[in-house]
Amino acid sequence: MSFSANICFERIFPQLIPLNEKLTQFRGFISALGEEFEVMLHLENGNLQLQGSWRLQQLLKPCHEAVVQSLKQSPELNIFLLELKDLLEKQLRQTKLRREILLPPPQYYSALLSHIAQSGWDKVEYVDPDLNTLHLRAKDENGRLHILQLHLPREYPKKPPVCSADLPEDFVFKWLTTSSLQDILEQFQTKLCFFQDFWMCMDEIDSSCWVLEPEKPRRKDCKRRLVLATNGSVQISVNPQCHRSIPECQFLGAERVIGPFRDNFNQNLEKWDVNSTILTNLKIVLDVKFPSPCSSNKEDYVVECGICYSFRLNDALPDKSCNNSHCSQLFHVECLIEWLRSVSTTTQSFSILFGECPYCDMVSHCCYWCSS
Ligand SMILES: [Zn+2]
Ligand SMILES: [Zn+2]
């Protein structure tokens, strides 16, 4: 495809100056939507080379194919330049639109910066480069550090930020169009006050017992699975709103180990005293001396599954034990079901699988249920 510059070129692009008499080199500017873009044009053997400023290159990057196509197909330089101008204007419009959609208005930034200054920059744990996400620090009255995560909408401060924190319940706060970060922090502090005693009770458990689950308790976690003895644990579910009342208790492990604890729990419920901590009550009601991290090894209570030889499997612990009290081997439910299904002598009645324990000979004593 041959290229030529014709005479009306100067009228359409007055800012492009020919650099030679043959009209094969030009230098100057193309304007699009009121913005000027520097270009260099070089015609050689009917081919055109186009060089432009960094900004021009960035703008044309997404439509590179269209520029190449136009370079190939335009019979004359001015037609190509007109098409280039069109493409540029289209890209400029799109960029402007994107900026309007993505970036908040200036008042967003002025309000946010003044609100941060009001609360104190020392409260800021993290802020993302776009100033949309903010992590604020707060200390409770017992010196625990808490992080409040805020995601700010474009309409901030007219619309409230979306907040999340490591709390046992959602952090709900009041927001007016005149509110600021300081108002949220004050409400957050009140919320932290509310949970002080709950966290004190949970901290006491975490420091005095072997906690099998969660592996690393967070402030929001209301459940703990505590070692009672080898092959036996209890999972307590505490209601953070009335944490000193009797928690839901689930006993897990070998029946011969957990049976007596379950019986104690049912018989001693009236001994539960809401003025005592959860741990103190559990000790009395279960009649247990919890194995302590100070005087025992956790490994002694981490009983592996008798099939896969691991403790944690897809977040599940070995919960199912052989019904033979002389065996009491623990298994993951998932492992046990897979094992029983692979054995030809296993029978099934509704959702219950009956089969042999992989560990002991007492076939008649080994029956298991599965939920699937
Ligand atoms: Zn297993
Ligand atoms: Zn067994």
Yes or no: say if 291 and 301 are a contact pair by the CB < 8 Å rule: yes
The ligand placed nearest to the CA atom of residue 317 is 1
pLDDT given for residue 357 in this prediction: 85
Q: How far is the CA of 336 from the centre of ligand 1 (A)?
A: 7
The ligand placed nearest to the CA atom of residue 326 is 2
Look at 239 and 32; give whichever has higher pLDDT: 239
Q: How far is the CA of 220 from the centre of ligand 1 (A)?
A: 28
Q: How far is the CA of 356 from the centre of ligand 1 (A)?
A: 16
Q: How far is the CA of 190 from the centre of ligand 1 (A)?
A: 45
pLDDT given for residue 291 in this prediction: 93
Q: How far is the CA of 176 from the centre of ligand 1 (A)?
A: 53
Q: How far is the CA of 38 from the centre of ligand 2 (A)?
A: 83
pLDDT given for residue 265 in this prediction: 97
* Residue 366 confidence class, pLDDT cut points 50, 70, 90: very low
Decide if pLDDT at 269 tops 50.
yes
Q: How far is the CA of 306 from the centre of ligand 2 (A)?
A: 10
pLDDT given for residue 94 in this prediction: 86
Residue 130, both tokens: 């776009």
Mean per-residue pLDDT for 166-170?
96
Residues bordering ligand 2, an ion, CB closer than 5 Å: 322, 324, 327, 357, 359-360
Decide if pLDDT at 260 tops 60.
yes
pLDDT given for residue 372 in this prediction: 40
Closest by Cα among 327, 319, 326 to 369: 319
Least confident of 111-120, 248-257, 353-362: 353-362
Q: How far is the CA of 319 from the centre of ligand 2 (A)?
A: 14
Q: How far is the CA of 327 from the centre of ligand 2 (A)?
A: 5
Mean per-residue pLDDT for 89-106?
82
The ligand placed nearest to the CA atom of residue 318 is 1
Q: How far is the CA of 318 from the centre of ligand 1 (A)?
A: 7
Do the domains 197-300 and 106-193 match in fold? yes
Where exactly are the structural domains of the chain? 16-102, 106-193, 197-300, 328-365
Q: Which homologous superfamily does the CATH classification assign to the domain defined by 106-193?
A: Ubiquitin Conjugating Enzyme (3.10.110.10)
**Contacts within 8 Å (CB) and 24+ apart, 222-225:** 222/168, 225/252, 225/317
Residue 101, both tokens: 């959609």
- C-alpha to C-alpha distance for 48 and 25, rounded to whole angstroms: 10
Look at 369 and 256; give whichever has higher pLDDT: 256
Q: How far is the CA of 367 from the centre of ligand 2 (A)?
A: 9
| % pLDDT > 70, the chain | 93
* Residue 1 confidence class, pLDDT cut points 50, 70, 90: very low
Q: How far is the CA of 339 from the centre of ligand 1 (A)?
A: 10
Q: What digits encode the pLDDT tens for the residues 112-152?
A: 999 999 999 999 999 998 899 999 999 999 999 999 999 99
What single letter denotes the amino acid at residue 113? L
Q: How far is the CA of 43 from the centre of ligand 2 (A)?
A: 89
Q: Is the CATH number of domain 197-300 3.30.365.10?
A: no
Mean per-residue pLDDT for 59-69?
87
pLDDT given for residue 254 in this prediction: 83
pLDDT given for residue 371 in this prediction: 44
Mean per-residue pLDDT for 233-258?
92
Question: Which residues partner with 270 through β-bridges?
Answer: none
Q: How far is the CA of 226 from the centre of ligand 2 (A)?
A: 24
Burial class of 221 by CB neighbour count within 10 A (0 to 12, 13 to 18, 19+)? middle
pLDDT given for residue 226 in this prediction: 95
The ligand placed nearest to the CA atom of residue 359 is 2
